[in-house]
């Protein structure tokens, strides 16, 4: 048994579409393309789905058009899942590379009795640098784990319909990118696992559609908003640090049962 597979791709990105199609076809994995939203075409700063006031208060700068497009694209997949009554789906972005035995890994995941709402594939080693809790082995190589951080990366994950419904709600008016929302378990209440090692990685030979502007921390606020920004930012970071620790500690009880 395999999950329903959606690949998020912008119609104009033909080379990406051809590459990911070739990869999945070679693995014998059926899938559907989901047309990505182009954030650059949107007047999102005044849109109901974007909490700009909160974003500027705590981050001092807007989400990028690419981040908004990514957020709405993933949200569209969740809505599609719910509309079509899909119980479990694998969501992939079109710039990933996959392990040669990815199909077999998916089959083992689907056959396993471990219950979760969202299973993330994180190919970067950084999320695991601050430790993690091993929950159960999937096979001789892979294990389900829980991490205490909120890492970026929404290029590959499996989610249930329940998770899709929750994420639709939490992306209706957001100040965060989609990958951040995935990690904010104290907000969503979702049970989020990670598979280690990841069978899904970002293909670094392809340029990201979000762009390197996401690393620019220059403030876009002025006046009193800029003057009070350090206080708001400090309060946000302290609150988030507490929420991370609290959520990770609370999950230990479930993980031992």
Note down the domain range covering 76: 4-256
Residue 236 to residue 74: CA distance in whole angstroms: 26
Residue linked to tokens 């190919």: 123
- Give the contacts of 113 (CB within 8 A, at least 6 positions apart): none
- Give the contacts of 50 (CB within 8 A, at least 6 positions apart): 44, 63, 68, 173, 174, 175
Q: How many domains does the chain have?
A: 1
pLDDT at position 213 = 63
pLDDT at position 253 = 85
Burial (Cβ within 10 Å: 0-12, 13-18, ≥19) of residue 41: exposed
pLDDT at position 129 = 84
pLDDT at position 217 = 75
- Give the contacts of 206 (CB within 8 A, at least 6 positions apart): 16, 19, 95
pLDDT at position 218 = 87
Rounded to 10°, the helix 52-59/223-256 angle is: 90
* Max Cα-Cα span within the chain: 57
pLDDT at position 245 = 95
Angle, vertex CA 84, rays to CA 78 and CA 182, nearest 5: 15
As given in the structure block, the two tokens for residue 72 are 């709405």
pLDDT tens, position by position, for the chain (257 residues)? 899 999 999 988 899 999 999 999 999 999 999 999 999 999 999 999 999 999 999 999 999 999 999 999 999 999 999 999 999 999 999 999 999 999 999 999 999 999 999 999 998 888 888 889 999 999 999 999 999 989 889 999 999 999 999 999 999 999 999 999 999 999 999 999 999 999 999 987 766 665 556 667 789 999 999 999 999 999 999 999 999 999 999 999 888 87
Distances (CA, A) of 242 to 104, 149, 226, 256: 38, 11, 25, 22
What pTM does this model have?
Answer: 0.94
| Domain CATH number, residue 232 | 3.90.550
63 phi and psi angles, rounded to 5 deg? -60, 150
């Amino acid at each position: 048994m395999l999950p329903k597979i959606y690949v998020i791709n912008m119609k104009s990105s033909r080379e990406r579409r051809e590459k990911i199609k070739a990869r999945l076809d070679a693995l014998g994995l059926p899938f559907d393309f989901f047309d990505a939203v182009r954030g650059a075409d949107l007047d999102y700063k005044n849109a109901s789905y974007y909490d700009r006031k909160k974003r500027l208060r705590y981050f001092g700068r807007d989400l990028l058009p690419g981040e908004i497009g990514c957020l709405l694209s993933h949200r569209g997949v969740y809505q599609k899942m719910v509309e079509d009554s899909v119980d479990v789906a694998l969501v992939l972005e079109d710039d990933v590379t996959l392990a040669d035995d990815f199909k077999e890994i998916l089959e083992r995941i689907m056959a396993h009795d471990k219950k979760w709402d969202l299973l993330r594939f994180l190919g970067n080693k950084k999320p695991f640098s601050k430790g993690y809790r091993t929950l159960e082995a999937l096979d001789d190589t892979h294990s389900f784990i829980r991490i205490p951080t909120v890492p970026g990366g929404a290029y590959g994950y499996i989610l249930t319909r329940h998770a899709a419904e929750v994420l639709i709600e939490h992306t209706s008016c957001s100040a965060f990118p989609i990958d951040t929302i995935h990690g904010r378990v104290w907000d969503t209440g979702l049970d989020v696992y990670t598979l280690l090692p990841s069978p899904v990685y970002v293909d670094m030979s392809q340029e990201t559609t979000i762009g390197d502007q996401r690393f620019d921390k220059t403030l876009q606020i002025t006046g009193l908003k800029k003057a009070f920004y350090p206080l708001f930012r400090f309060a946000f970071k302290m609150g988030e640090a507490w929420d991370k620790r609290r959520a990770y500690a609370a999950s230990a009880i479930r993980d031992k049962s």
